[in-house]
């Protein structure tokens, strides 16, 4: 069934608006507070690279999901990875081909570490110890999820999932997280091409100034990157600078004294050797950088029957198509599920005052133009394919759809149906 939207606080008054004579001091202060907070503000998002300890774990877990789906599109995987100094632990539940033995899983993990680029004394793909405690999926969970007789495929767990889109960037993503990702991706490409002395582990953080609700420039940029021991902090700063300038729009660079590169002064020991990593600890980096709500469930290591992953992808898909259709400039979608139940329990739409159509009607239309049951999502977006290792770094959203079905949730093929539903 469809849930209606909640009542929101009034939108900020337009620029230039003046309270009527006789308005109370308290009301004027409230108006000023709301006007500033909702239209002129600073907002910050961060990203982490593929070599960050948590992202190493996400990559390994998703590489194993891909291996199972490549051999059996209906395989079930819930795989967690822990990584520390030259040591990796694989744990979780699977149902799939017997050919994916513990030894094969360990080899997949080793390959992922090599592809990221770890060949350092404290974490090396060749000699890291890898152990596997992966076992068969719980029969109780399988019973709830599997289709049988008149029962459709159920959700792999209860939960709430959110999707978001806005007009701030070409790919309808919030600008801070989009630029934070792009800086690190540019640096990684240079590293893999042998054009820089960066190490695999790095982080970025961007603060943007918003005026009238739109980003206009960076007030600070922070980049911390692992580097060759011989490099000074000043040298690393100049290696990072061109990647930031390439990514940010012209004139958006922050003041020089707000450009922070390796603020501790040294970052030679990195990756799991410097800090323990776990699957699923970077969920805000994976989504919208904090610009939208998050349901709490991680994506990596999960096959598409897990609505933590598939329904979050579907919610982004719907939100992006709503914005691309011109029905709103900003859109949040929430869907909720119960374990073993096929239909979503609720669909919620909030356009934050930017909508050009009724939100209650929009929520109903969403349920009509796309099947948001676990099976419906999986089949419509063709998620039962080995397309997940590539999602494990630089964001699951805002990426271009790929020919083999990767990032299918970024397609814009609902636009016409949404416009037609509203006579547009």
| Sign of the dihedral defined by the CA atoms of residues 54, 105, 298, 349, in that order | positive
Confirm or deny that 214 is annotated as ligand binding.
no
State the Cα–Cα distance between residues 340 and 334, nearest whole angstrom.
19
Confirm or deny that 259 is annotated as ligand binding.
no
Confirm or deny that 143 is annotated as ligand binding.
no
Confirm or deny that 59 is annotated as ligand binding.
no
Confirm or deny that 66 is annotated as ligand binding.
no
Confirm or deny that 407 is annotated as ligand binding.
no
Smallest Cα–Cα separation from 279: which of 73, 27, 88? Answer: 88
Residue-level pLDDT at 7: 33
Residue-level pLDDT at 4: 39
* pLDDT tens sequence across 199-243: 999 999 999 999 999 999 999 999 999 999 899 999 999 999 999
Confirm or deny that 298 is annotated as ligand binding.
yes
pLDDT lower than 50: segments of the chain: 1-17, 31-36
Confirm or deny that 403 is annotated as ligand binding.
no
Confirm or deny that 371 is annotated as ligand binding.
no
Residue-level pLDDT at 153: 74
Q: Which ranges in 72-174 belong to alpha helices (H)? A: 102-116, 139-145
Confirm or deny that 18 is annotated as ligand binding.
no
How distant is the alpha carbon of residue 99 from its chain centre?
Answer: 31
Angle at 413 between CA 409 and CA 414, to 5 degrees: 95
Confirm or deny that 52 is annotated as ligand binding.
yes
Confirm or deny that 155 is annotated as ligand binding.
no
Confirm or deny that 343 is annotated as ligand binding.
no
Q: What are the distances in angstroms from CA 53 to CA 88, 336, 391?
A: 11, 31, 16
Helix (H) or strand (E) holding 66: helix 53-71
Strand 76-84 versus strand 277-278 pairing type:
antiparallel
Confirm or deny that 266 is annotated as ligand binding.
yes
Exposed (0-12), middle (13-18) or buried (19+): which is 60, by Cβ within 10 Å?
Answer: buried
pTM for this predicted structure: 0.88
302 near 289, Cβ under 8 Å? no
What domains are there in the chain, each with its CATH number?
41-48+175-269 (3.30.300.10), 53-145 (3.30.300.10), 159-168+281-294+306-421 (3.30.300.10)
């Amino acid at each position: 069934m469809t849930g209606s939207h909640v009542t929101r606080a009034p939108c900020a008054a337009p620029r230039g608006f003046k309270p009527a004579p006789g308005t109370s001091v308290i009301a004027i202060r409230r108006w000023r507070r709301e006007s500033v907070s909702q239209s002129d503000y600073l907002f910050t998002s961060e990203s982490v690279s593929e070599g960050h300890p948590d992202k190493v774990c996400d990559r390994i877990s998703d590489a194993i999901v891909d291996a199972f789906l490549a051999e059996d599109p209906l395989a079930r995987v819930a795989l967690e990875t822990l990584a520390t100094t030259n040591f990796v632990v694989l744990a979780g539940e699977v149902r799939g081909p017997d050919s994916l033995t513990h030894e094969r899983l360990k080899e997949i993990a080793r390959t992922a570490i090599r592809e990221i680029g770890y060949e350092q004394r404290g974490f090396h793909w060749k000699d890291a110890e890898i152990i596997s405690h992966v076992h068969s999926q719980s029969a109780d969970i399988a019973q709830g999820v599997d289709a049988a007789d008149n029962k459709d495929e159920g959700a792999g767990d209860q939960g709430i999932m959110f999707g978001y889109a806005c007009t701030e960037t070409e790919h309808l993503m919030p600008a801070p997280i989009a630029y934070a990702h792009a800086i690190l991706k540019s640096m990684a490409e240079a590293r893999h091409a042998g054009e820089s002395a960066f190490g695999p582990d790095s982080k970025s953080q961007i603060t943007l100034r918003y005026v009238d609700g739109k980003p206009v420039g960076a007030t600070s940029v922070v980049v911390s990157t692992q580097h060759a021991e011989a490099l000074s902090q000043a040298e690393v700063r100049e290696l990072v600078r061109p990647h930031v300038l390439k990514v940010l729009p012209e004139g958006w660079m922050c003041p020089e004294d707000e450009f922070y590169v390796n603020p501790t002064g040294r970052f030679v020991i990195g990756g799991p050797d410097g800090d323990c990593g776990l699957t699923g600890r970077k969920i805000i980096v994976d989504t919208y950088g904090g610009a939208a709500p998050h349901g709490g469930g991680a994506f990596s290591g999960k096959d598409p029957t897990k609505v933590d992953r598939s329904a979050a992808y579907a919610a982004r898909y719907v939100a992006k198509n709503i914005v691309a259709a011109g029905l709103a400039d900003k859109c949040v979608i929430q869907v909720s599920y119960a374990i073993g139940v096929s239909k979503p329990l609720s669909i919620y739409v909030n356009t934050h005052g930017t909508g050009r159509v009724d939100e209650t009607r929009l929520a109903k239309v969403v349920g009509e133009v796309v099947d948001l049951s676990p099976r419906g999502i999986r089949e419509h977006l063709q998620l039962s394919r080995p397309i997940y290792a590539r999602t494990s770094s630089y964001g699951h959203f805002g990426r271009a759809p790929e020919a083999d079905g990767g990032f299918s949730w970024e397609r814009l093929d609902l636009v016409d149906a949404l416009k037609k539903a509203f006579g547009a």
